[in-house]
Amino acid sequence: MVKKVFYILCLSLFFQISTANAGSEGSEELSKSNNSAEECFEGFSRAMFKFNHGLDKVIFKPVAKGYRALPAPIRKGTGNAVDNLRSLLTLSNNLLQGDLDRAGNTVARFGINTTAGILGFFDPATKLGFEDQGKEDFGQTLGTWGADSGCYFVLPVLGPTTTRDAIGLVGNVFIDPVYQITHNTEIRNGVVGNGNYSEHNYYYYRTTGAVDFRAKNIESFDSLEENSIDLYASLKSLYLQNRKQKIANSTSSVETQDDSDWEEIDTN
Amino acid sequence: MKKIFFITIFLIFSLTQKSYGYSSDPKQFISEIVEEAKGILVESNTKEFKTKKLSEMALKTVDIKGVAYYSLGKYRKELNDEQLKEYMLLFEKYFLKSFTSRLTDYSDPKIEVLSVEILNPKYTIVKSLLLATDKKPEVKIEWRVYTKNPDKPLIRDLIIEGLSLARTQKEEFTSVIESNDGDVTKLFITLKEFIAK
């Protein structure tokens, strides 16, 4: 069933990609294009946003605060270990994007951190010159292939997304080695599978990653919440800017922020 | 006697210039702001003191008028002179409250100013790094400096980890206006509510 849905979504995306490519005259133009995405179901999305916000107040934030109480080296190590496992999904996407340089860096980091870094708890790879080049997911891969973001909407629990990124979420399942190993406990064709793991391991890892992320952003989110006049719109803007930057694999705002709307404003 | 008078006037003028003036070099300008902010945000200072001093600093170093126009986007052309005047007054209060509130929670921030990138004669991006603490990861901060008047650079945007605060604010304002059928005065009411809270 999931596969069927995935293929249908891929097919619809194919038409989107074709349209996006037809309308674009180069990667520069594409990367600097306006980062707005059409709202498809704004009423539903705002309701989901309220639901998620409530859930965050009652569950996620208190859990993140509890996690924050752990000693800093434990938190740092846990974050490193989760990132190390997550890098396998990044590797799949590096390869799908044809980015062999980054794929090589991801492999080196995973190898060094899993061994010398004791299952990823420490990060000796960075000290050896293999710096973290950021996470990749299938939504980003679709973006690099030219897929437009499509509609913006908010999913329950999972939060903000777009049509492209929602398809990416499903796609991640198929190309994430951690998911495949933990969900295929019996050896199939000798390719994947390990009886030592179960699906629970995958969800523990993903939940820990989410808690670690929330704990690192407690103050930032509090500040955003306190200083926003429309928190839903703020998060939408930040989400879309962030995705655009990640798809462009850029650390420079000069490459991703559209300057044209500043040009006409002269004040001195 | 006259000589002493002129020397005194000159000294007062020089000292006044030094205490209120900033460098015209964008990188140095940002370094000076960072140093000034560090001095204000020391833990022993009260929140009221920090708010007052940060507001004074923002009024001198941020192009509040430019950010106000930018935040209104296409709707600024729909305002008449009176509305524009009201908007500018409201925006300044909103901006200072929001700006100081975001910063007063920081104590002794460690920011390194790294490099500059000149985009064109009107804009320079100054790149800096907020160093990691036990609780917070390292954060890249880019400052969009408006250099149309090369003697008096002004900040127009802060881009944190690639996310523009001005753009986020603009999209927030647009959302408020559009969810009220394009009525800009509803934004004024929202701003008033924010200022009053």
Using DSSP's 3-state secondary structure scheme, residue B134 falls into coil
Say whether residue B134 is in contact with chain A using an 8 A CB cutoff.
Answer: yes
Percent of chain B with pLDDT over 90: 65
Residue A20 pLDDT more than 50? Answer: no
- The reply to whether residue A242 touches residue B163, judged by beta carbons under 8 angstroms, is yes
How many residues comprise chain B? 197
Q: Are A113 and A126 in contact (CB under 8 A)?
A: no
Beta bridge partners of B62: B155
**B117/A254 touch (CB, cutoff 8 Å), yes or no:** yes
Query: Which residue type does A229 have?
Result: I
Nearest-by-Cβ selection for A253 from B122, B125, B191? B125
A159-162 and B111-120 beta bridge pairing: unpaired
Q: For residue A235, give the amino acid letter.
A: L
CB contact under 8 A, A265 and B69: yes
Count Cβ atoms below 10 Å from residue A28 Cβ, excluding itself: 11
Query: Which of chain B's residues have a Cβ under 8 Å away from the Cβ of A263?
Result: 122
User: Is residue A265 less than 8 Å (CB to CB) from chain B?
Assistant: yes
d(CA B41, CA B108): 6
One-letter-per-residue 3-state SS of chain A:
CHHHHHHHHHHHHHHHHHHHHHHCCCHHHHHHCCCCCCECCHHHHHHHHHHHHHHHHHHHHHHHHHHHCCCHHHHHHHHHHHHHHHHHHHHHHHHHCCCHHHHHHHHHHHHHHHHCCCCCCCCHHHHCCCCCCCCCCHHHHHHHCCCCCCCEEEECCCEEEEHHHHHHHHHHHHHCHHHHHHHCCCCECCCECCCCCCHHHHHHHHHHHHHHHHHHCHHHHHHHHHHCCCHHHHHHHHHHHHHHHHHCCCCCHHHHCCCHHHHCCCCC
Q: What is the ipTM for the molecules in this complex?
A: 0.84
pLDDT at B187: 96
Q: What's the pLDDT at B15? A: 47
HSE toward the beta carbon, residue A230, CA cutoff 13 A: 25
Residue B3 pLDDT > 70: no
Average pLDDT (B38-47) is 87
Neighbours of A186 (CB within 10 A): 8
Residue identified by tokens 């934004």 is: B187
Chain B residues 28-87 within an 8 A CB cutoff of chain A:
63, 65-66, 69-70, 73
Query: Of B91, B80, B96, B92, which Cα lies nearest the Cα of B188?
Result: B91
Whether A135 and A97 have beta carbons less than 8 Å apart is answered as no
A227 closest CB neighbour out of B102, B122, B149: B102
How does pLDDT run across A67-99, given as a tens digit for each residue?
A: 999 999 999 999 999 999 999 999 999 999 999
Average pLDDT over residues A200-217: 92
pLDDT in tens, A29-46: 444 545 568 888 899 999
Q: What is the mean pLDDT of chain A?
A: 84
How far does the CA of residue A115 sit from the closest CA of chain B (Å)? 25
Inspect the interface and report whether the beta carbons of B148 and A253 lie closer than 8 Å: no
pLDDT category at B133 given cuts 50, 70, 90 is: confident
Phi-psi region of B62 (alpha: psi -120 to 50; beta: other; left: phi over 0): beta
Kindly report which listed range (A7-21, A31-45, A99-113, B69-83) carries the lowest average pLDDT score.
Answer: A7-21
Residues constituting chain A:
268
What integer is the mean pLDDT of A51-67?
A: 96
pTM summary value:
0.84
Q: What are phi and psi of A128, to 5 degrees?
A: -85, 5
| Mean predicted confidence (pLDDT) in A3-24 | 43
| Band (B108; pLDDT cuts 50, 70, 90) | confident
Q: Which residue of A has its CA nearest to B151?
A: A268
**How confident is the model over A212-261, as pLDDT tens digits?**
999 988 988 998 999 999 999 999 999 999 999 999 987 666 666 677 77
Measured between alpha carbons, how far is A180 from A192 in angstroms, rounded to an integer? 7
Judged against a pLDDT cut of 80, whether residue A10 lies above it is answered with no
> Residue B120: pLDDT above 70?
yes
Q: Give A183 to chain B, closest Cα distance, Å.
A: 33
Q: Token pair of A65, please?
A: 């605060």
For tokens 């052309």, name the residue. Answer: B77
Cα of A223 to nearest chain B Cα, Å:
6
Q: Which of A85-99, B102-116, B164-178 has the lowest mean pLDDT?
A: B102-116
- Nearest by CB to B172, which of A36, A229, A263? A229
- Using the Cβ of A242 and the Cβ atoms of chain B, whether some distance falls under 8 Å is answered with yes
Separation of alpha carbons A153 and A162, rounded Å: 6
Q: What percent of chain A has pLDDT over 70?
A: 79
Q: Which of B140, B152, B174 sits opposite A251 (nearest CB)?
A: B140
Helices B81-104 & B184-196 angle (0-180, nearest 10): 40
Residues in chain A closer than 8 A to B136 (CB atoms): 216, 219
User: In chain B, what residues touch A36 (CB-CB under 8 Å)?
Assistant: 171
Among the partner residues B102, B146, B164, nearest to A241 by beta-carbon distance: B164
Answer whether A142's CB lies under 8 Å from A164's CB.
yes
> With bands split at pLDDT 50, 70 and 90, how would you rate the model's confidence at A198?
confident
For residue range A124-144, list pLDDT tens digits in order. Answer: 999 999 999 999 999 999 999
- Whether residue A265 contacts residue B63, with contact meaning beta carbons closer than 8 Å, is answered with no
Kindly report the nearest CA distance between residue B9 and chain A, in angstroms: 29
Which residues on A lie below 8 Å from B121 (Cβ)? none
Q: Residue A262: which of B70, B136, B168 has the nearest Cβ? A: B70
Chain B environment of A233 (Cβ under 8 Å): 171-172, 174-176
